[in-house]
Amino acid sequence: MASAGAVITVLLCAVITDSVLSNKARNVLILLADDGGFELGAYLNKICQTPNIDALVRRGVVFNNAFTSVSSCSPSRAALLTGTPSHQNGMYGLHHGVHHFNSFDNITSLPNKLRDNGIYTGIIGKKHVGPADVYRFDFEQTEQNNDINQVGRNITHIKLLAREFLAEANKQNKSFFLYVGFHDPHRCGHSHPEWGPFCERFGSGERGAGLIPDWAPWYYRWDEVQVPYHVQDTEAARRDIAAQYTTMSRLDQGVALVLKELEAAGHQDDTLVMYTSDNGIPFPSGRTNLYDAGLREPLVVVSPEPGARRNEASGALVSLLDVAPTVLDWFGIKHEQEMSNEITSHDDDKPKSFLPILSKEPAPSEHEAVFASQTHHEVTMYYPMRAVRTRRYKLVHNLHFAMPFPIDQDLYLSPTFQDILNRTRSKQPLPWYKTLKQYYFRPQWELYDVRADPLELKNLHGKPSLAQTEASLRARLAQWQRRTRDPWRCAPGAVLERQQCRALDNGLD
């Protein structure tokens, strides 16, 4: 029989061991693509070469049902960094230039929350959110103090900045949160057409393009690319996709460089790593749309925990709104109130940590849902939409459906959209799943069975057999809008007055 002293010693060792484990350094690295999609081997693209992101998948969990809450650059980044939808945090559209959108001054963001809790925070690459006080990082190397291509596409420069950040974190002996906002594979035909529609020649070593020492360019044949279902199958579009692939391969090599810096700094085994994108690809039905091509995102998460899942896929329905609570959960930071603009919420639709999914796949539920809220992209692109998506159904509410759907400058100038325009004008055959008129003019309500109709071609709104389903989705969407204090929650059939929807009697109930 063990003596009392031995028992005390064992208990003391257990306490010390538990303390050591709980005090182990915990860090976060977020790798964010800019308009990146599923041009990845891990998502069954057999042409685009992304061996490094694919290797990351083998170390963790790849999510097949991850969605952004808004299909636009600044709003999606603000939502990811706050855990609140764009209509709630105030980032209604693009932050830069004449668009000038900003979040509300009283919003709490991840970098501010983490810094208050002793975490060293850093951002490298595209920031694209404001105001500065709301989104303040300790270490900032972004488009605000650099050329965006140098901090977003020059993967050698990104590598060196990551090295500098990690060295400082080690010097301060602090846990860290590093957010790397790649500018690839964003289009650049609007700003730098000399480097190709996707800046695929930037840093390639060609005359006038500069050289990125760590980049070995991959070039693709236009007749071999995989054309997404929502893009027309023409030579012009295929060449556009081939250029996109080249920038995706540069992004992939950049991911590898940052991960090597993480390992060299001694943090591969204590850092939660996420790879995702801000919104859908910059092609028709993608970015700025609430169709799945605009909302569905790649998401790869690697946990260093011993019992974490490796090389597995998850079918769980998750939102990028869940990133903020996941990061806080990882650091063990409690927050008494939602990171929001005076909102009350309920457990069934509020953002939540997906850390448990990294250990065990949850049982699927038809009640799971993600929500989306789009208002602007560019300041001239006012087309408010709201949506709710479950595993089987999606309901989209186009609030200003009488207007034609707006087209952003990047897409308008792209070879793909110009091809659609030219073929439509000249009445040439257009091998696309829609007509341009159908794309521009949309009904007020769109209801899709995304399980039976993943291309979202058959609008089931008003179908008698789905009346109960549609009513339930409409009620759930309205409830989410009320809980998140959506200023558009009464549109277009009523006006919001003293928290009540007052009917306009315009026939748009």
Catalytic residue chosen out of the listed positions 48, 73, 199, 490: 73
Amino acid in the structure at residue 242: A
Whether 501 sits among the annotated catalytic residues: the reply is no
* Interatomic CA distance for residues 174 and 179, integer angstroms: 16
CB-based burial, 221-245: b 16+ in 10 Å, e otherwise: ebeebeebebbbebebbbbbbbbbb
Is residue 454 classed exposed, middle or buried when 0-12, 13-18 and 19+ CB atoms within 10 A define those classes? Answer: exposed
CB-based burial, 8-42: b 16+ in 10 Å, e otherwise: eeeeeeeeeeeeeeeeeebbbbbbbbbbbbbbbbb
Give yes or no for a contact between 230 and 295, defined as CB atoms under 8 angstroms apart. no
Distance set, CA 140 to CA 137, 156, 180, 212, 251 (Å): 6, 17, 10, 22, 20
Give yes or no for a contact between 184 and 254, defined as CB atoms under 8 angstroms apart. yes
Give yes or no for a contact between 265 and 450, defined as CB atoms under 8 angstroms apart. no
Decide: helix, strand or coil at residue 495: strand
* Interatomic CA distance for residues 158 and 163, integer angstroms: 9
Give yes or no for a contact between 81 and 95, defined as CB atoms under 8 angstroms apart. no
Q: How far is CA 399 from the centre of its chain?
A: 23
Give catalytic residue positions. 73
